[in-house]
Amino acid sequence: MRPNGLPRVSVITIIKNLRDNGREDYFFECVNSVRKQKYENLEHVVIDGGSTDGTQEFLKERGIAFIEEADKGIAEGMNHGINHATGKYIIFLNSDDYFINETGLEKAISVMETSGADFGYSDVDFIRKTGEIKVRRSDIYPLFSVMSLCHQGMICRKDLFERAGFFDESFRISGDYDFVLRSVESGAGYVRLAERFAAFREGGVSTTDTKMVQHETWLVHQKHYGDKISLSDTVKYMREQWVPFGILEKHVRKQSLKERIKFKLINFRHYVQSKRKEIFDVRTRKGKRRIILFGIHIIKEEKR
């Protein structure tokens, strides 16, 4: 059914052993933020991956519906969620993520419907352990060098998973990055959602384990660009936010001419920025003065 003609939206949350991980309060904030949404055609699909710490009993006592389906990791759990979802659109909120207002989702779905996009993306709020809130920007155009979108701020059509494929369960934390790359490579349409509607907290692997993020990004790059890509290549691409132009050309060819041009121009801009210091750089700090011109040290002062 479509109340007031609105398409159904499925919010998927994957949980496991909330009590052992001390996430009960965060999860309730997640659940309550979904319940408070003004959007009228919404379902919350909670998938428990086989908790053994009393989480399921804890949820039953509080009247929170869930589906028990054992998984071997977050990607498999998310795939289970997709299979159970009945909505036209899908959003993934982790157990410690939440919607930051009551109307942002409603506005985002309006943009999705108007644009006809396969997925949309927005900036999100990033909550530090100190309570400080920072805005984490999402930008599609550095995507081929680094995961530049936040999945909490993404809305995907369910049928995009049927066309681009579900999450690759071999990845521990980068299944979303692999999925978005496959989507863009397949020619999926996308739209930037101007209003933030979700938040995530500091503390997950993606925010605390840089080496794990680099390693998994490397595995994604190897899958898409070939096994000649080294870990050092990936670290460089992530830091400088560009990839070799041959790689970019091959992987955006199914996008529109306008989008291909945007990807290439921004990739080139980041390339130039990364090479600027090799071409021309001036430092005036005493003991470290130097001038580099076309890679040649005209002046190089070593601190003594």
Domains along the chain with CATH numbers: 3-207 (3.90.550.10), 256-300 (no CATH)
pLDDT along the chain (304 residues), means of 10: 82 94 92 96 96 93 93 93 98 96 96 98 95 96 97 97 97 96 98 96 76 96 97 97 97 97 96 76 65 62 53
pTM of the model: 0.89
* Helical (H) or strand (E) element with 279: helix 257-279
Q: For the chain, how long is the longest CA-to-CA vector?
A: 76
Mention every residue, 6+ apart, whose C-beta is less than 8 A from residue 195.
104, 107, 108, 122
What does the block give as tokens for 184? 């863009």
The residue among 172, 178, 197 whose CA lies nearest residue 89 is 197
Question: What is the reported pLDDT for 1?
Answer: 47
SS3 category, 182: helix
The residue among 146, 62, 133 whose CA lies nearest residue 100 is 133
Give me the DSSP letters along 72-112. SSHHHHHHHHHHH--SSEEEE--TT-EESSSSHHHHHHHHH
Distance of CA 81 to the CA centre of its chain: 17
The residue among 126, 73, 116 whose CA lies nearest residue 96 is 126
SS3 category, 125: strand
